[in-house]
Structure 1
Amino acid sequence: MFGNNRLRALDRRESMRLLAKAPVGRIVYTRQALPAVLPVNFAVDTGGSVVLRTAADSDLVRAVDGVVVAFEVDDYDAEAQTGWSVVVTGRADVVTDAAEHERLARTGPRSWVAGRNGVFVRIHSEIVTGRDIVAAAEDGAGDAS
């Protein structure tokens, strides 16, 4: 099967659909002038923004508040050598509005790590890109649609 698969670009709608299905993603940011990647659980919120929850005094909050970051999710089948990847790029902001924080406390992501003083970080989906590695038999060749 290797070599017969093909790469397909995903549009924003399909990328956002896949993003919403993933339980864990990776936030990509700068720490001490170097790239850093941190796996986190998250939720897709209204307008397609990505929301994650973390400790208010975390290094992550200090590093990302008000700056551009990337957020990546993926899924793959190692045996079939197929899968997809979605990257959201945009400004990250700590949610400071009390009403918005309360809404996210009810509807947003739950932290997997117990802790107090949790804050929400919103990543605005300014650029959304996705790609899919499709098995040759699934690529729609000969499909009339």
Structure 2
Amino acid sequence: MNAEPNMTLDVDECWDCLRSTTIGCLAVVVGEGADLHPDIFPVNYAIEHSSVVFRSGGGTKIEAIHDHPQVAFEVDGYDPETGNAWSVVLKGHAKPIIRTDELLDTISLDVTPWQAGKKNQFVRIIAEEVTGRRFPVADSTSWDTPLSGTGRAPRE
């Protein structure tokens, strides 16, 4: 393995990583007042220009975006040939796609959700900040301790 040292990715490399896969995690803010808290959802997505597009049914994600459109989106990957992993975080403004011309452009994107059900709402995350890094994955033996591999008593 030719693992590189920790490396900050430039914006173009971040977008290349985002284009290399189709599953990411959407972080939104849900709730109101004292019950305000973050929540995270896996979504299938596609890249269109400098934005992330995904498809969803109504519910928590869509309500959260309506109430708090500032979101974060994370995608991670691993290259077994080099032993390197990468992580990209996009922060931006999410908005439902509702104009007919935008919907017609978006419908051709491959954003087929894994979960069955009515997924008739499209959302675009307009990137305001994109950051990422690539790093070597540590050999699991580097975390070994004198107690590694010892048996444990069963829980009662």
Class of the TM-score when normalised by the shorter of the 2 chains: 0.7 to 0.9
If asked which structure has higher relative contact order (CA below 8 Å, sep 6+), I would say 1
- Write out aligned runs for 1:70-109 (5 A): 70-76=72-78, 82-109=84-111
1:8-42 alpha-carbon deviations (Å, 9 max, x no partner): 10000000001011121000111221111111110
Measure, in 2, the Cα distance between the counterparts of 1:131 and 1:16: 12
Indicate yes or no: 2:65 matched with 1:64.
yes
Measured in 2, the distance between the counterparts of 1:114 and 1:77 equals: 30
When the two chains are superposed, the root-mean-square deviation of aligned CA atoms in Å is 2.3
SS at match of 1:110: coil
- Answer yes or no: is the 8 Å Cα contact 2:86–2:134 preserved in 1: yes
Identity over the aligned pairs, expressed in percent? 33
Query: Which amino acid counterpart does residue 31 of structure 1 have in structure 2?
Result: V
Name the counterpart of 1:37. Answer: 40
Separation in 1, partners of 2:118, 2:134? 39
Cα shift readout 1:56-80 (whole Å, capped 9, x = no counterpart): x2211010136110000001368x7
Q: Secondary structure at the match of 2:61?
A: helix
Gaps of 5+ in 1: 136-145
- 1:38-57 aligned within 5 A: 38-46=41-49, 48-55=50-57, 57=58
Q: After the TM superposition, which parts of structure 1 deviate over 2 Å for at least 4 consecutive aligned residues?
A: 111-117
Structure 2 portions without partners, runs of 5+:
138-156
Which residue of structure 1 aligns with residue 122 of structure 2?
120
The one-letter amino acid of 1:92's match is A
TM-score with structure 1 setting the length: 0.80
Look up the match of 1:21: 20
TM superposition score normalised by structure 2: 0.75
Please tell me whether the aligned partners of residues 83 and 133 of structure 1 are also in contact (alpha carbons under 8 angstroms): yes
* Number of residue-to-residue matches in the alignment: 131
1:54 and 1:111 in contact (8 A); partners too: yes
> 2:64 is matched by which residue type in structure 1?
A
Taking the aligned partners of 2:113 and 2:63, their CA distance within structure 1 comes to: 18
Other structure's SS at 1:64 match: helix
Please give the alpha-carbon distance, in whole angstroms, between the structure 2 residues aligned to 1:51 and 1:62. 17
Matching residue of 2:149: none
